[in-house]
């Protein structure tokens, strides 16, 4: 007979609802997270996950009638987000909540307070405390570094480390429940393992963890149970060990959407094509990238795989011209690009979807219509803005890309991650580029939106555009691409096609594992990390 845990649930949510302007986005949702449990919260974009988290965090005030308890204690229906820790709750949101111009030590002090000597901040004690947190989490960064100096991976891990900090003060409420919203969306597999190890430590101490992710493999890796939201409703709670990937996927998207939703390989995938070359990079070099040779042909989808620091994003920036190269050449068709200028690349027919869509890909405060047309204004023969033509262009894009809600006046900031990414794609594809570069195109989007975006990329390639995709998820590259080049320590070290185009072969190539010789091949570089 299994012993019953005498402790109250880490988190109890009962009949929670939220309505915006008469539209119910969260409808009578109930769930529990037990002490020491990892509870996955799953659902497509727009399913209500973000609204639920913001209601728990004090960002949104839920409708009357529901209740929230943490470790058996009631939580007010409305409170400032800064008070969440007082109730035993901690959150790591997708936007991380770090302040770029403040130091690592200062950011870690936010929410728990600074070390003090009387009325003054004790800088030395604060740095020592920060170093202890960094060491415990395996983060090799300086307490005095500003957030702006850190790569995306380090920022993500730092935000998570901050949430794991113990509360201070004799009367501080101990942490009962930690909510992580897409914590690995910017992390490669090796850094994700640091997170998983930390989650195991915190759950061993009896803390419940709510874990929002779109990566189903992570659910089977760390979660005990999973609650699925669909259209604002709880569609079910499942014991993960009783599920299979197929049954979990079906539970998330619904049986009518599963056919074809899991991406299938393109064509014969031999990697052989005689179509014209749209991109020819030769000896391309930068801060990290060294002597990269790369081609992309019309109608071809080429992937770039590599670990963090391998130079993946830098390669994209060098090709697009948003970062100056230190050597090599770039050709788009017959035209050689001679300057570090994104404008020159755009004029030559290159489009670029950046890794951080919220910061670099769209203007959040502007409308869907304004974002879609910003890279290609609809003008008449006199060069003036043609509003009628613009409305047609926007309506066609919303329909073709299935942007939801289908309201061109709506601010992009109010859309889900998947729909924001569709807006960015629509913006660039309106220019009818000969080459489109995409850095992490499905980062932080749900499985349904991912399938839709992959379908859009396939149709784009079939129309003749060359597609270059950078993705830290090897499954995505294996399912989407005709061939994949492997980056290691700033150098292209391999190219996978045909039967080698598998996640296992990508993993071996990126880590430098020689299967036959049973050794690890190392690639040395004195260049600074990306």
* CA distances (Å), origin 121, targets 80, 113, 127, 163, 167: 25, 10, 11, 21, 18
In the chain, the percentage of residues whose pLDDT exceeds 90 is 40
- pLDDT on residue 185: 66
Domains 11-255 and 260-349+433-530 share a fold: yes
- pLDDT on residue 525: 39
- pLDDT on residue 228: 94
**Three-state DSSP class for residue 301:** strand
Distance of CA 314 to the CA centre of its chain: 18
Sort strands 67-70 and 11-20 into parallel, antiparallel or unpaired. Answer: antiparallel
- Total-model pTM: 0.57
- pLDDT on residue 45: 62
Residues 6+ apart with CB under 8 A from 354: 316, 360, 361, 439
Q: What stretch of H or E contains 151?
A: none
Cα angle 347, 351, 355 (rounded to 5 degrees) comes to 145
Closest CA to 312 of 484, 195, 94: 484
Task: Report CA torsion sign: 43, 48, 52, 54.
Answer: positive
Residue 90 CB-density burial (10 A; 0-12 exposed, 13-18 middle, 19+ buried) = buried
Distance of CA 302 to the CA centre of its chain: 20
Residue 256 in tokens:
């009518």
- pLDDT on residue 162: 82
Closest CA to 283 of 272, 273, 294, 274: 294
Residue 189 CB-density burial (10 A; 0-12 exposed, 13-18 middle, 19+ buried) = middle
Cis check: omega of the bond before 405, within 30 degrees of 0: yes
Residue 465 in tokens:
């555009």
Given a contact cutoff of 8 angstroms between Cβ atoms, the answer to whether 290 and 315 are in contact is no
Task: Residue 74: count other Cβ atoms within 10 Å of its Cβ.
Answer: 11
- pLDDT on residue 192: 79
Write the secondary structure of 481-506 as one string of H (helix), E (strand) and C (coil). Answer: CCEEEEEECCEEEEEECHHHCCHHHH
Given a contact cutoff of 8 angstroms between Cβ atoms, the answer to whether 227 and 217 are in contact is no
Strand partners, 202: none
Distance of CA 455 to the CA centre of its chain: 19
Residue 109 in tokens:
């002090």
Task: Report CA torsion sign: 520, 521, 527, 530.
Answer: negative
Give the Cα separation of 2 and 270 in Å (integer): 54
- pLDDT on residue 379: 63
Tell me the residue ranges of DSSP E strands in 61-142.
67-70, 73-74, 89-92, 116-117, 120-121
**Three-state DSSP class for residue 442:** coil
Residue 102 is classified by DSSP as S
Q: In which residue ranges of the chain is pLDDT below 70?
A: 1-6, 45-46, 111-112, 166-172, 185-190, 255-273, 308-309, 378-383, 511-530
Closest CA to 264 of 481, 72, 511: 481
Q: What share of the chain is helix, strand, coil (3-state, %, to 5)?
A: 35, 25, 40
Distance of CA 527 to the CA centre of its chain: 27
Residue 196 in tokens:
């998983």
Pick the CATH number of 11-255 from 1.20.1250.20, 3.20.20.450, 3.40.50.300, 3.40.50.970: 3.40.50.300
Q: What is the pLDDT of residues 116-156, one digit of tens each?
A: 777 777 778 888 888 888 887 777 888 888 988 887 778 87
| Domain boundaries along the sequence of the chain | 11-255, 260-349+433-530, 363-431
Residues 6+ apart with CB under 8 A from 415: 368, 403, 404, 405, 423
The domain 260-349+433-530 having CATH identifier 3.40.190.10: the answer here is: no
* CA distances (Å), origin 82, targets 21, 224, 310: 26, 29, 37
Residue 458 CB-density burial (10 A; 0-12 exposed, 13-18 middle, 19+ buried) = middle
Helices (H), 407-502: 417-429, 447-462, 474-480
């Amino acid at each position: 007979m299994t012993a019953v845990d005498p402790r109250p649930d880490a988190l109890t949510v009962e009949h929670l609802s939220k309505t915006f302007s008469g539209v119910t986005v969260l409808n009578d949702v109930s769930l529990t997270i037990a002490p020491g449990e990892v509870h996955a919260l799953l659902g497509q974009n727009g399913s209500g996950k973000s609204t639920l988290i913001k209601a728990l965090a004090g960002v949104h005030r839920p409708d009357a009638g529901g209740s929230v308890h943490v470790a058996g204690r009631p939580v007010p229906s409305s409170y400032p987000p800064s008070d969440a820790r007082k109730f035993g709750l901690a959150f790591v949101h997708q936007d991380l909540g770090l302040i770029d111009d403040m130091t690592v030590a200062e950011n870690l002090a936010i929410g728990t307070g600074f070390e003090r000597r009387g009325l003054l901040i004790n800088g030395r004690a604060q740095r020592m405390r920060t170093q202890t947190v960094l060491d415990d989490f395996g983060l090799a960064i300086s307490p005095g570094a500003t957030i702006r100096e850190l790569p995306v991976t380090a920022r993500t891990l730092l935000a998570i480390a901050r949430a794991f900090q113990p509360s201070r003060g004799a009367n501080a409420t101990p942490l009962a429940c930690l909510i992580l919203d897409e914590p690995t969306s910017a992390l490669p597999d090796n850094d994700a393992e640091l997170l998983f190890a930390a989650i195991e430590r915190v759950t061993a101490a009896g803390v419940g963890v709510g874990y929002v992710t779109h990566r189903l493999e992570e659910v089977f890796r760390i979660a005990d149970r999973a609650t699925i939201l669909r259209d604002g409703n709880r569609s079910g709670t499942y014991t993960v060990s009783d599920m299979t990937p197929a049954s979990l996927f079906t539970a998330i998207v619904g049986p009518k959407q599963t056919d074809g939703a899991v991406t299938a390989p393109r064509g014969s995938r031999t990697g052989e094509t005689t179509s014209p070359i749209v991109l020819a990079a030769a000896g391309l070099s930068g801060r990290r990238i060294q002597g990269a040779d790369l081609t992309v042909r019309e109608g071809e989808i080429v992937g770039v795989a590599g670990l963090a620091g391998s130079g993946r994003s830098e390669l994209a920036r060098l090709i697009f011209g948003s970062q100056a190269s230190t050597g090599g050449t770039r050709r788009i068709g017959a035209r050689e690009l001679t300057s570090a200028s994104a404008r020159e690349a755009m004029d030559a027919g290159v489009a670029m979807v950046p890794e951080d869509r919220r910061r670099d890909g769209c203007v959040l405060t502007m409308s869907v219509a304004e974002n879609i047309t910003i890279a290609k204004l609809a003008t008449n023969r006199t060069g003036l803005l043609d509003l009628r033509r613009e409305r047609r262009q926007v309506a066609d894009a919303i329909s073709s890309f299935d942007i939801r809600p289908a309201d061109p006046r709506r601010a992009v900031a109010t859309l889900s991650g998947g729909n924001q990414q569709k807006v960015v794609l629509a913006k660039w594809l309106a220019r009818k580029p000969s080459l489109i570069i995409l850095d992490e195109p499905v980062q932080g989007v749900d499985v349904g939106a991912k399938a839709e975006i992959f379908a859009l990329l396939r149709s784009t390639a079939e129309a003749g555009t060359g597609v270059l995709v950078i993705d830290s998820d090897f499954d995505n590259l294996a399912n989407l691409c005709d061939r994949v080049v492997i980056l290691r320590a700033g150098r292209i070290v391999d190219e996978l096609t045909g039967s080698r185009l598998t996640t296992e072969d990508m993993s071996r190539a990126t880590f430098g594992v020689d299967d036959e010789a049973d050794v690890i091949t190392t690639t040395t570089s004195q260049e600074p990390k990306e």
